[in-house]
Structure 1
């Protein structure tokens, strides 16, 4: 097996571990350039990998001191290492459940951070205060949006300054599906999570009337405080679309005085549930924004809070780093079971786990799902893994947790918010734009070039780490403070732009009938 070269590669970029046989270029490198004792055999774009040692056909390519793929051709020092000479192959990983569990250095309660939250009557703590319109089926989507549109008219909400808005969360399913089974269960679990979300002060549940996902079947399972106003109606019972819009507007207007009757008070950071997601990743993701978010997660956990990592396909190949941190064999086994489910799921659909990364990820320097996952898992920091949840399942455990979600960002984030996330952090290298009402979403840029180009979408530039202007821990502390400010009401850029309504996308499983 090839070993990493000992040459100084600072002039090229960064070696992430001394055992690696590649480094990441931090600038565009031309063919024939000499740097760090290496001569570049072909041009290497910024963010891509350069070999620092010979790698024979079939031997592993190592980054983060982990296998990210296997050489398909002989690779020489100075070669560009990417999809043209590296392939994904499955290989055995040592899960060693619980072997890396450590005692968490908790901050004494009297010294823990706080934020200004909204405490509901039943004790739940909100970071935002919306009225919502949930739809049981796609057939009621247009009516729901027409109702929400009425509340965007100038002056309608002026008398209710504590209400953040009225949001319609529509989706593309709810009928043409089996009347029982996983597909319906996932949709109902998602709707339940939003109905019970503390960031909703009240809501309207709107259906057509004849759909598989009947309103009564959904609402009967909800555990909602009696003080929370709830209205339900169907278009068929109301007598059509126009009548439904009138009735829906009236129902929500009646909720506004109670929804407005809130104030923010000082609450401990232990009440926060932080969602973690990445999208439009690049090679910088695993070097800057994701580790910085991981450092913020470690701080939040030390202060008694909760973090939820998702995107199961994007921990594939790195899941052994999480099972080693699992607090019990049961937690580790639940994660591995989800990995096995995804392997079967992709195989049944004639796919591969390596269908992710996307073309944009590859253009940004990510070669295989193994490499992408090793960078993505850094969002989870270093503390113990306390629980593993199904998609949209309510998160009840404190500390660092995991939820089984797809890698497709809107679907993943929808599940995490349904689980109870009250702030979302979203890292991106290529420049993803996403919001997730009723939860505020912070966008974290992995590199300064993209941050500068998309400054009106990005809340924090983690690219300063690669620029040498700050450390991972420095940015992690800055991010932790920004999370607390956001939870206290500071609006994110995606909120200012109006994102968060169209990005509600429940995971659709099962046959469309």
Structure 2
């Protein structure tokens, strides 16, 4: 770091990050030399530390984030107007050193207060779920859940609430193939969530995705009481709502008997998310979350890194620490699939970053990915999972998901995540019932501006009052507190009832 105007992340970088807005004509110290800034540079954006020739690599994090589209002079604003993607992205290669790495030993013994379920999973919350098999039963599901808002829950002090899990699919699709298999895997994954003490499935009756088929997938090892209702068999919507309210009340009586007990932190399965990223994401919030992930893994816990299109360009950092060449190859296979998937729709993976990301200072998908991968810390990559697959391994794992946050988090929760940690630079109000979401602000300015939505401030890292290690340790303690029942901002704000967004694939017919 040269001064408090910019931060140079590595001596080999040829760009630094502005810690505040820099005015036109201002002189600043960048990379050990004083330069005049010819045009204003917003906070979080990049400034050239030295001259960069046209066609040369632009480097941040000691990694290439793009190529110069023209000659760039020291002190200039470096962004989409003068930086582009390389003509071809070379994917990471398999690491010989990664083969046969040992299983990490549990080095810590932290605990939290959780709900131990009959199947051995541990919940961080105690909800009842009302799950729609098809969009045609969505309104009925919400009507049943809405009957338990406010004072209706006063008699059930140990229950966090009743949540409707609804979606826009379930019919107009093939009865076989990946589309319905993916939907059923996601819905049954939610039914298995340790944060549900009981579940009511509600169907229409004539849909492709029949309630009975999903219940069969859960038997004989259903983790909680499962009940079903079919609107056409009950005599209509009003009749089903009335019957559903009675069924949920019975489930609440059972759920209210659950109490929190002390459990090891190894029972935490943490979903890692970042959304509305900015130029600080890879400097503050994501590295701090990476430190917290390493502490969780040291306890024998599990962290689920996802958003496959948003590791594009940084996959070599993950394959280099894969537990085996098979794990590394499986990750590369997922990226190849995404390249084909994007091309089939006439797009490319570098359509990311979003307009908000660019406004926050992120120029290319390579830059965004390098920052995003930091959420995974330095732990070994143990396994790669398909979307919504049950996560069985401990340690750091990867789940193949889209980069769209609600879809990605839905897959992680279906896979067993009982806590989500979501970093944001532009600001996000995401919530994810039945699983609490901790939102981590990249800057003190964002934290103060959206105080009612942000749970943790990683801004002191650039303010110079906290190290990344110190911030990560504080974030880990917050995770344990939230897992033990401390409410997050999204929970206090009542957000999370409509953020279930499964990844829909296949033809709609």
TM bucket normalised to smaller: over 0.9
Residue 435 of structure 1: which of 424, 431, 440 is its match?
Answer: 431
Q: SS at the partner of 1:67?
A: strand
Q: Over residues 256-276 of structure 1, what are the superposed CA-to-partner deviations in whole Å (9 max), with x where a residue is unaligned?
A: 111111111111111110110
- CA spacing shift, 1:64–1:219, aligned 2, 3 Å: same
Verify the 8 A CA contact 1:196 1:223 in the aligned structure 2: no
Equivalence for 1:212: 208
Residues 1:401 and 2:401 aligned together: no
Q: Over residues 118-175 of structure 1, what are the superposed CA-to-partner deviations in whole Å (9 max), with x where a residue is unaligned?
A: 1112221111100001111111111110111101152x22121111100001111111
Q: Over residues 52-102 of structure 1, what are the superposed CA-to-partner deviations in whole Å (9 max), with x where a residue is unaligned?
A: 122222221111111111111111111111000111233224423253687
Q: Gaps spanning 5+ residues in structure 1: where?
A: 1-7
Residues 1:112 and 2:109 aligned together: yes
Map 1:108-507; keep pairs closer than 5 Å: 108=107, 111-154=108-151, 156-223=152-219, 225=221, 228-507=224-503
Equivalence for 1:22: 15
Verify the 8 A CA contact 1:104 1:302 in the aligned structure 2: no
TM-score by length of 2: 0.96
Verify the 8 A CA contact 1:107 1:302 in the aligned structure 2: yes
Q: Over residues 318-337 of structure 1, what are the superposed CA-to-partner deviations in whole Å (9 max), with x where a residue is unaligned?
A: 01100011001111011000
Equivalence for 1:10: 3
Equivalence for 2:26: 33
Verify the 8 A CA contact 1:98 1:323 in the aligned structure 2: no
Residues 1:63 and 2:60 aligned together: yes
Map 1:76-87; keep pairs closer than 5 Å: 76-87=73-84
Verify the 8 A CA contact 2:98 2:324 in the aligned structure 1: no
Q: Over residues 239-269 of structure 1, what are the superposed CA-to-partner deviations in whole Å (9 max), with x where a residue is unaligned?
A: 1110110011011111111111111111111
Q: SS at the partner of 1:287?
A: coil
After TM superposition, give the deviation of residue 103 of structure 1 in Å: 6.2
1: CA distance, partners of 2:249 / 2:300: 38
2: CA distance, partners of 1:306 / 1:453: 32
1: CA distance, partners of 2:219 / 2:371: 38
Equivalence for 1:50: 47
Verify the 8 A CA contact 1:141 1:171 in the aligned structure 2: yes
Equivalence for 1:5: none
After TM superposition, give the deviation of residue 30 of structure 1 in Å: 1.3
After TM superposition, give the deviation of residue 10 of structure 1 in Å: 2.4
After TM superposition, give the deviation of residue 296 of structure 1 in Å: 0.2
After TM superposition, give the deviation of residue 177 of structure 1 in Å: 1.5
2: CA distance, partners of 1:160 / 1:265: 18
1: CA distance, partners of 2:222 / 2:180: 26
After TM superposition, give the deviation of residue 511 of structure 1 in Å: 1.8
Question: What RMSD, in angstroms, separates the aligned Cα atoms of the two structures?
Answer: 1.5
Q: SS at the partner of 2:496?
A: coil
Query: Would you say how many aligned residue pairs link Structure 1 and Structure 2?
Result: 503
1: CA distance, partners of 2:14 / 2:184: 48
Q: Gaps spanning 5+ residues in structure 2: where?
A: none
Verify the 8 A CA contact 1:385 1:402 in the aligned structure 2: yes
Verify the 8 A CA contact 2:98 2:323 in the aligned structure 1: no
- CA spacing shift, 1:378–1:100, aligned 2, 3 Å: farther
1: CA distance, partners of 2:183 / 2:95: 32
